[in-house]
Structure 1
């Protein structure tokens, strides 16, 4: 792997790590969108790297939190996540070989949806949704996780509508993202797709993101949370529109 790929990728990963630290959102979407838009690395490789980065992040965050998880919701969501991850990875493999333009369009639309979700404030329900709804939204997240390594938006929106304590929702999402990333990684390995490029990018990305996360905690931007959400929305919207326009024109 040449430095012409590694250095731009690490710069994007570091920026995304800082951005997620100060806004709480966007690492995977920024890495996927920017690298795809600039043609730095194949979507299939970047999706695998994003999935591994998410898995590492979740495994670091999970210890000591499992007692604060709504397990029936996890099991229901898992029923949708696992098979749809497999479908998403297979669809990614097919589209990357035969419909690269459509793949870029889909990625742009997903990032636009993720950006819009920052400004959407789901109303809290009075009662917990049926478990089958967790299976449905788990399936949608599993499909996106399989395609792009970005499983967040559907599950985040659905979970924050539930009458569950915020700390339990956060831990529920961390666990589900770990499941999504873990299953995706295992399936990619079983398909023989975990190549040297993915491992090298991941190995270099972890310290870059760790450093940018530290800087984000020590030197956050002096802006309100609402302003940061608007900045995140603007950045993701710009990336998403750029991908959509490139795919259409």
Structure 2
């Protein structure tokens, strides 16, 4: 990667890490939306890097906290995630070689959906959803994670609708992202996808995201949480619309 592209990507990583810390919305969505939309690196490389960064963050945040999350929830999520990860990675490889415009449109739609999802405040259900619903959400989560390394939107909306303590929801989501990122990284590694470009960008990105996370905790912005959610929503919606427009232009011109 050229120096200018590397610096631009790391700047996006830093912004994404800071916003994720202070607003609580998807690290991967910002990275894939901004860096992928600008084309500073290929989508397969970015998706692999996002998975590695997410896995590292989850490893720090999760130890000791996963106990008590309920085996039925964890198993159901894993049952849905594992097969759909493979499908998602295969689709990414196929579309990156045969239909870049369609791949761009899918990325734009996912980022746009993520932005709308950030702005939603789902009302908790009276009773918890059955186990099969966790498996179904795991299927969608794995597909999104396999395609772009961005597993967040389906799992976030589903988990926040459950009548569970907020800390349990937070840990359940971290575990969900850890399973998705771990399985994706393992599968990509067996396919030879963890190339030198991926490791180089990942090794540069991890300390940058870590530093941005520290800054977010130490120096949060002087505005309310609701204002940060609004900023997050508008940022992702804007990125999603821009990527969709780019994809449509590529589809028409192609």
Q: TM-score scaled by structure 2?
A: 0.96
Q: Is this contact kept in 1: 2:124–2:160, CA < 8 A?
A: yes
Match of 1:193 in 2: 193
Deviation at 1:212, TM superposition (A): 1.2
Larger mean Cα displacement after TM superposition, 114-123 or 225-234: 114-123
Match of 1:39 in 2: 39
Partners in 2 of 1:67 and 1:35 — Cα distance? 36
1:97 alignment counterpart: 97
Residues of 2 paired with 1:154 and 1:37: CA distance?
Answer: 21
* Separation (CA, whole Å) in 2 of partners of 1:67 and 1:131: 18
Deviation per CA, 1:99-147: give whole Å up to 9, x if none.
0001010000000110001111111111111111111011001000000
Q: Which residue of 1 aligns with 2:243?
A: 243
Report if the CA contact (8 A) 2:26-2:152 is conserved. no
Query: What is aligned with 2:216?
Result: 216
Moved more, 228-237 or 120-129: 120-129
3-state SS in 1 of match to 2:189:
helix
* Equivalent residue runs for 1:201-212 within 5 Å: 201-212=201-212
Cα distance in structure 2, aligned partners of 1:23 and 1:111? 16
Query: d(CA) in 1 for partners of 2:71 and 2:169?
Result: 11
Deviation at 1:98, TM superposition (A): 0.5
Distance in 2, matches of 1:165 and 1:24, equals: 17
Query: 1:218 Cα deviation (Å)?
Result: 1.8
CA–CA separation in structure 1 for the residues paired with 2:69 and 2:180: 16
Find the aligned partners of 2:141 and 2:165 in 1 and give their Cα distance: 22
Partner of 1:62: 62
In structure 2, the partner of 1:116 is 116
Residue 51 (structure 1) aligns with: 51
Q: Tell me how far 1:54 sits from its aligned partner.
A: 0.5
For 2:33 and 2:66, locate their aligned partners in 1 and report how far apart those are by CA, in whole Å.
Answer: 32
Per-residue CA deviation, residues 156-185 of structure 1 (Å, 9 max, x unaligned), is: 111111111111111111111101000000
Which position in structure 1 is the counterpart of 2:173? 173
Q: Which runs of 5+ in 1 are unaligned?
A: none
Q: Per-residue CA shift, 1:192-226, capped at 9, x if unaligned?
A: 11100000000000111111111112221111111
Most deviating of 1-10 and 103-112:
1-10
Q: Please tell me the root mean square deviation across aligned C-alpha atoms, in Å.
A: 0.9
Partner of residue 135, structure 1: 135
Give the corresponding residue for 2:79: 79
- Displacement of 1:11: 0.8
Deviation at 1:4, TM superposition (A): 2.3
3-state SS of 1:4 partner: helix
Contact 1:112-1:236 within 8 A present in 2 as well: yes
Q: Which segments of 5 or more consecutive residues in structure 2 lack a partner in the other structure? A: 250-254
**2:228 matched to which residue of 1?**
228
* SS of equivalent residue, structure 1 residue 222: coil
Equivalent residue number for residue 107 of structure 2: 107
Could you list the structure 1 runs, at least 4 aligned residues long, displaced by more than 4 angstroms after superposition. none
Partner of residue 88, structure 1: 88
